[in-house]
Structure 1
Amino acid sequence: MTSEASIVSITDLTRRLRWLWLINAAVMPWVLLIGIIPAELTGNVAWLAIGYPIFYIGVPLLDRLLGQDPNNHSEEDVPALEADPYFKRALFFALVGSIAAWFTGIYYAAAADLSWLGLFALSIACMGFGGGLINLGHEMGHKRGRSDRAGASLALGIALLPHFNVEHNRGHHRAIATPDDHASSRLGENFYQFILREQPKTWIRGFSLEKERLNKLGKGFWSRDNEILPGIIIGALFISAVGLLFGAKILGFVLFASWLGHMNLSLANYIEHYGLLRKKDASGRYEPPRPQHSWNQNALISNLFTFQLQRHSDHHAHPSRSYQCLRHFEDVPQLPWGYYEMFLLAYIPPLWFRVMDKRVLEWAGGDLDKTNLHEPKRHYYQQLTEQFA
């Protein structure tokens, strides 16, 4: 039980506004499909994309309106919050709702016999399903419970990203904020350069890490101990069912929308460690990952929709800690706005560099050797740091 003294420090989303987690789980997946209503009433399929601006413009507006949740709980609160079953139920409720809404979107696409333009518009909105399922799989995949692992495999299988948790837990978490990490963006690297490196290499690393682990156990890829295999099977069953039931056109829609969901993951990876670098010790080894190696944010609404993923500094300091237990740190790099707003910024490299480069350089004290630098732009940043100094 938490003490009366500590209750006042617990964040709004774990105490006063905790009911919002169930509202988020029950309602938000269906908002992505809200464009079906005006599209059917007007006959204009462009309305099918409206779920995208609702999230990517509406959420930043709500963040600006409702502000931050910088409140914190103490370490003494963590055991009680971890033991509270409400938060796990909300997570699984969100998983069921997201899959149900995604399947509804697929069925509508087939039943309405949408044109290619209509399918494109709907896929823009439905990219949120892939991003949401990956985030849920990420949260569950950091736990060792059987139900959590099964939920992670289901989420990532439907999202068509079965390798993610192996790559993320054993690759990204070990290599974050170093030039060796494909999922950590570099100072001066734009989003489009980043995804050309990140997307293929994280797939390769995920499968390589699991193959290496299985080889050490004397087991092959098709072993029951393969942690990627359940997601592969679920994903294969999913796309096979779509193709058999609805044909190649709808299968193409599903594959494209799923890839757009992977783009959401890439956007998150891009903004979470941009330009940050772990120091090396005297032996040449990188220091352990610390809260200071991730960008942090406390925007209330986008924290709700991302299951507190924005409290990324504490997540990397304590990877197994559940979303409701993540804390805010004052002495870590802070993003100026919530993730959804930063996603939009990342799409436009000149704006991204204008907002973020000065923050990276200030955090590094103007020392390029303390940044994870995109080497082709070293000369440019050397000139910039001279002005900074």
Structure 2
Amino acid sequence: MDAHSTSLPVAMERRIVEASVANALPHFAPLAIFPLVACAAIYGGWWIAVPLVFYALADRFDRIFGLEERNMDPATTSESQLFLYKLSLWLWAVLWPATFVFALWQALVADHLALWEVWCVAVILTMVGQTVFIVGHELVHRRALWERRLGEFLLASVSYPHYATEHVYIHHPWVCTPRDPGSSPKGLSFWRYLPAEVANNVLGAWRFERRRLTRRQLPVWHHSNAFWRYAVQLIFWYGIILWMGGPWAALVFVVLCGNVVFSMKISNYVQHYGLRRVLTPAGRFEPVKPRHAWSAAYKFTNWLYYNMQRHADHHTSNRRYPLLQHHGEGASPQLPGSYIQMNGLALFPKRWFKTIDPLLDLQRAQFYPDVKDWSAYDSRAFAARPDAFDAIAEIHAAAPRIAGWINRNPALLDMLREREFTDLELPEGFLPDPESEAIARCGLARLYWTHELSLAEMKAQLADIHVQDAGEAVDAAREWSNGKVFQIAMHTMRGSLSIGEAATALSRLTEASIVSALSAVEEDFADRGVPRGSGGVAVVVQGPLASGEAMPGETLDIRFVYDGTPARHYRKLCGRFRKALRALTRNNLLLSHQSFARGGAGEIQPLDAFAEQLRNPDSGLDPLALSRARCVWGSGDENVAERVSGELREALGTRSAREMLLAELRERGERAVEPGLRGLQSITTMRGGLRDIERAALFLRLAPNGDAAAPPEGNAERTFRTAGDRGLITEDAAERLVAAAALWRKLRGALRLVADDGFEAESAPAGARATIAGICGVDDFDALAALIEETASRAAAGIETLAPNLGPRR
């Protein structure tokens, strides 16, 4: 297939270039550098500038010579006609080792160059060495064994012989897919691309050799392992360097090789940046086509680097370099400059993205008009878990927040293969109609997450995880919790769980994680031989976590209340509790680390001070926060937790708490309803919004004949229904407030699960808007926006009826 292949496309048949001496001679231009390098190494001084000028003029020569878009016809060009072209390449492969060793001898052994001249010679060798990968790359693709071994030897001269394995057996089969680390996704800068690419080259080549030998039932250290050859070649080169100049010369050689590899990686980055092969309906990647590499047609650069800019055709044909075809913009994306220019641009990510990303978007629109959303193909999750593409694409289309989770931690996708999840996601077609299937899935998910997986069962699962100290317990609780949160989010996104059911399960997850971490801290503390105090500690949680309405990103509003002596013992214990919980919130999908790490989170108080703060009307404590506070765990004397709960109930029963709520409701009633939906903050603070509804519900609980004894988990909807039944508000007002409470609860949960930070309705993806609307029970997002405005107005009107109907509490 080297010299004979399929005929040229019809559009190219009229633009033929013949294989001739005149056309082959320009490809001898790269050989001119070797006498220049030799002179620079012998004479030093101004001779050093000549090779540098040679490369510096390449860009100017590109402008002088222009473009070359003509092609040889592989079908009519015989192998014998390519002899001069191949001779140029072979001569370069022979002259490089000789010139390389000679220049190093002059610089390291002859001792006639100044230090600055030695460094300049090293820089020149680095620049020439860039072509090692181009020539070596060409040779390792050939069928003749001697050419492949010569290519490996050249690559070993820059300490990178394993490239011969990685490039041929990994890069080529998987180019422009996540399985090829050399194909950069869109948005990844060169500086982030480089470390993973270098590491994966070595590891990927080794894994390939290991798999190859395993298939042949041979040990990994068998003599046919290519790494034995690579080791011998490297020993040869490093042996020469050590013989000539000792350890310092070897260090210089390592730096030189690193610079050559660095320049090669820039080219790799440029050649396939952002280009992706899409998955076919059969689940396989589409065949490689010219559209999967960037092309350029600058004549002098192609002479200097053996048609490197025709890389698109190399991936589809593997022809010898003179037969590589230039593909125009109708078949391959075109770079705005030569490879040399683009390699320099890639070092500056902002300029690179600004220049190339618009061209990439045009390429995608041109070649893949049916693919509207490329976020899944560009994601880190797809790079790490290509087999999970369907789930990744589903998540990216419907839930940006969940997409952020899997891109930061692709291992979460493995939770979709756990039986705990798959047993609830019944396959399509197992019932006669989709509606029945959906009902069955909902029933299974609801039964498991709200009944079978109770708080006690969650605590038992965490207790079954073997840990040796509190640090391991915190890590285990976080990992366990994150997996469960992801599963619950997926069920909710797919409509198998309602927001209320998800909130119940998530709240239990939080409490189980907290209890597991704190219990481990208590055991560690006791294991140190610290004498036990005479009292105990109560851990109080406030907010949605306490009221059973937890959603991802919640603030861990917690405080530690102790009673007993010695006080220093309890303060030290509570300090360890706080440290453990701060660690628990780090990289936690459910709990916000930033909010917990700020300021007074995790306040430690003696019970007397806590009670005094609750009784003081000027303490600034929010009645709503107090109504949603409860003890989730206690250490030592159980009476401490009971006394703390009693103090919370007593504080809510004061007249000042009711008056504060009523004053705030009246003040907010003077504001206008905000139209539309901007984000979570707007539905919380708008008149008739979530905050008003929560305060109205609490006001009614504290009213005469209200449901003051309701637990913190009691939701606002139940409170409004109870108030309507008892005549505290009219049936119409109760209906309005119940509808508002239900909508705000769904909407808050939908935004916390689906929308990422900084959510803007106008710019949100269509899939995310549809998911939010579906969770809220409406057909489309526009209808949801209208419903929000209407519901807020009706809720505000219902709240205005509260004060006249409520007398003083006796």
TM class, shorter-length: 0.7 to 0.9
**Unaligned 5+ residue runs, structure 2?**
5-11, 366-370, 381-403, 409-755, 764-810
Which residue of the partner structure matches residue 341 of structure 1? 341
Separation in 2 of the partners of 1:117 and 1:144? 44
Query: Which of these residues, 3, 6, 18, is aligned with residue 24 of structure 2?
Result: 18
Q: Deviations over 1:99-133 (max 9, x none)?
A: 22211221122123666655443332211343222
Given that residues 12 and 18 in structure 1 are in contact (C-alpha distance below 8 angstroms), is that contact kept between their aligned partners in structure 2? no
Separation in 1 of the partners of 2:113 and 2:68? 42
SS in 2 for 1:263: helix
Which residue of the partner structure matches residue 262 of structure 1? 261
Q: CA deviation at 1:88?
A: 2.1
Q: CA deviation at 1:37?
A: 7.3
Given that residues 140 and 152 in structure 1 are in contact (C-alpha distance below 8 angstroms), is that contact kept between their aligned partners in structure 2? yes
Q: Deviations over 1:2-56 (max 9, x none)?
A: 9xxx99844478664211223433x124445665578436xxxxx857745642x
Query: Which of these residues, 70, 74, 89, is aligned with residue 91 of structure 1?
Result: 89
Separation in 1 of the partners of 2:193 and 2:274? 12
SS in 1 for 2:226: coil
Which residue of the partner structure matches residue 288 of structure 1? 287
Q: CA deviation at 1:207?
A: 1.4
Aligned pairs for 1:29-178 within 5 A: 29-32=34-37, 35-36=40-41, 39-40=44-45, 48=48, 51-52=51-52, 54-55=54-55, 57-78=56-77, 80-81=78-79, 84-110=82-108, 111-112=110-111, 118-178=117-177
Separation in 1 of the partners of 2:186 and 2:13? 40
Distance 1:82 1:222, change over 3 A: farther
Give 1:306's aligned amino acid.
Answer: Y
Separation in 2 of the partners of 1:368 and 1:62? 41
Give 2:338's aligned amino acid.
Answer: G
Separation in 1 of the partners of 2:235 and 2:42? 31
Q: CA deviation at 1:262?
A: 0.6
Separation in 2 of the partners of 1:246 and 1:308? 36
SS in 2 for 1:288: coil
What is the aligned residue count?
371
Q: CA deviation at 1:172?
A: 0.4
Separation in 2 of the partners of 1:251 and 1:332? 43
Q: CA deviation at 1:58?
A: 1.7
Given that residues 299 and 338 in structure 1 are in contact (C-alpha distance below 8 angstroms), is that contact kept between their aligned partners in structure 2? yes
Q: Deviations over 1:195-254 (max 9, x none)?
A: 011111111101111121122123334434233432321121110121123111111111
Question: Structure 2 length as normaliser, TM-score?
Answer: 0.43
Which residue of the partner structure matches residue 28 of structure 1? 33
SS in 2 for 1:283: coil
Give 1:206's aligned amino acid.
Answer: A
Which residue of the partner structure matches residue 210 of structure 1? 209
Give 2:272's aligned amino acid.
Answer: H
SS in 2 for 1:172: helix
Distance 1:62 1:286, change over 3 A: same
1:360 aligns with 2:366: no
Which residue of the partner structure matches residue 315 of structure 1? 314
Separation in 2 of the partners of 1:61 and 1:313? 25
Distance 1:316 1:66, change over 3 A: same
Which residue of the partner structure matches residue 351 of structure 1? 351
Query: Which of these residues, 315, 322, 325, is aligned with residue 323 of structure 2?
Result: 325
Give 1:286's aligned amino acid.
Answer: F
Distance 1:12 1:311, change over 3 A: farther
Coordinate RMSD, CA, aligned: 3.2
1:227 aligns with 2:226: yes
Distance 1:273 1:310, change over 3 A: same
Distance 1:14 1:348, change over 3 A: farther
Distance 1:351 1:82, change over 3 A: farther
Given that residues 49 and 122 in structure 1 are in contact (C-alpha distance below 8 angstroms), is that contact kept between their aligned partners in structure 2? no
Percent identity, aligned pairs only, is 22
Given that residues 191 and 349 in structure 1 are in contact (C-alpha distance below 8 angstroms), is that contact kept between their aligned partners in structure 2? yes
Separation in 1 of the partners of 2:53 and 2:133? 20
Q: Deviations over 1:111-158 (max 9, x none)?
A: 236666554433322113432222211101011212212211221121
Give 1:24's aligned amino acid.
Answer: P
Q: CA deviation at 1:287?
A: 0.8
Given that residues 105 and 244 in structure 2 are in contact (C-alpha distance below 8 angstroms), is that contact kept between their aligned partners in structure 1? no
Distance 1:134 1:342, change over 3 A: same
Distance 1:345 1:29, change over 3 A: farther
Separation in 1 of the partners of 2:218 and 2:239? 28
Separation in 1 of the partners of 2:20 and 2:140? 21
Give 1:145's aligned amino acid.
Answer: A
Separation in 2 of the partners of 1:144 and 1:159? 23
Which residue of the partner structure matches residue 731 of structure 2? none
Given that residues 50 and 125 in structure 1 are in contact (C-alpha distance below 8 angstroms), is that contact kept between their aligned partners in structure 2? no
SS in 2 for 1:84: helix
Separation in 1 of the partners of 2:21 and 2:273? 32
Q: Deviations over 1:149-191 (max 9, x none)?
A: 2211221121211111110011001111122211011211111
Give 1:28's aligned amino acid.
Answer: I
SS in 1 for 2:308: coil
Which residue of the partner structure matches residue 44 of structure 1? none
Stretch of structure 1 that moved more, 32-41 or 303-312 = 32-41
Distance 1:32 1:290, change over 3 A: farther
> Could you say which structure has the greater relative contact order, defined with CA pairs below 8 angstroms and 6 or more residues apart?
1
Distance 1:258 1:12, change over 3 A: farther
Separation in 1 of the partners of 2:80 and 2:256? 34
Given that residues 120 and 253 in structure 1 are in contact (C-alpha distance below 8 angstroms), is that contact kept between their aligned partners in structure 2? no
SS in 2 for 1:17: helix
Q: Deviations over 1:278-334 (max 9, x none)?
A: 010113221111111011111111111211121011100012x10011001122111
Given that residues 49 and 125 in structure 1 are in contact (C-alpha distance below 8 angstroms), is that contact kept between their aligned partners in structure 2? no
Give 1:101's aligned amino acid.
Answer: T
Q: Deviations over 1:310-364 (max 9, x none)?
A: 1011100012x10011001122111111111111111222221222111001111
SS in 1 for 2:24: coil
Give 1:326's aligned amino acid.
Answer: L
Given that residues 18 and 72 in structure 2 are in contact (C-alpha distance below 8 angstroms), is that contact kept between their aligned partners in structure 1? no
Give 1:344's aligned amino acid.
Answer: G
Give 1:251's aligned amino acid.
Answer: A
SS in 2 for 1:364: helix
Given that residues 280 and 286 in structure 2 are in contact (C-alpha distance below 8 angstroms), is that contact kept between their aligned partners in structure 1? yes
Separation in 2 of the partners of 1:19 and 1:322? 16
Separation in 2 of the partners of 1:134 and 1:298? 20
Distance 1:59 1:89, change over 3 A: same
